Amino acid sequence: MQSFELLSQKFALHFEQPHFPNEPSSLYEPNQYFLQLGGKRIRPVLCLMGNELFDEINPDAWHVATAIELFHNFTLIHDDIMDKAPLRRGNETVHAKFGENTALLAGDVMLVAAYDCLNKINTSYIRSIIGLFNKTASEVCEGQQLDMDFEKTDNVSLDDYLHMIELKTSVLLAASLKMGSILGGASQRNQNLTV
């Protein structure tokens, strides 16, 4: 099995390709800007590792890993808007640099690009991968909403806070592993061990 570091390097090379057309530049340039800010790329590497636990890396895993990373970045763009954050990774956020309306559209089109990646996988995996992807995406949104709700609440229990963090962060990490295991041909039992 390849190390996290090696798979991370391989994914970084794979992810360097352009994900958006050039025009209209006012829509796509903000996404290119945001993606070049980098990041740890943990989620897509977990997808590749989840695949490799059960078989050699399926070429479809690269599409799914890319979709996961694009989705994650979509959530970050929208999260920055909701938090009114001026900086991410020491650089201007998309909405601070390009305006809130453009940032909303840029995030939306990044989500569309994620689904374009999923649409490239073998049809035998489409139903299970998109089903899990959609369930996870809904849970991430639920976590974000709870996070905003908690800002208006004087007293949040530890259990409620941990549930919010699970939805906002953990479910996508677990789903990344599970999607990889699906592509690796893992049994249902083994797929569920990854979550």
Q: What is the pLDDT of residues 99-135, one digit of tens each?
A: 999 999 999 999 999 999 999 999 999 999 999 999 9
Q: What is the pLDDT of residues 70-106, one digit of tens each?
A: 999 999 999 999 999 999 999 999 999 999 999 999 9
DSSP the chain: ---HHHHHHHHHHHHTS--S-SSSHHHHHHHHHHHTT----HHHHHHHHHHHTTSSPPHHHHHHHHHHHHHHHHHHHHHHHHHT-SEETTEE-HHHHH-HHHHHHHHHHHHHHHHHHHTTS-HHHHHHHHHHHHHHHHHHHHHHHHHHHHTT-S---HHHHHHHHIIIIIHHHHHHHHHHHHHTT--HHHHHHT-
Q: What is the CATH number of the domain that holds 177?
A: 1.10.600.10
Considering its fold, how many domains does the chain have in total? Answer: 1
Q: What domain range includes position 113?
A: 4-193
The model's pTM is 0.96
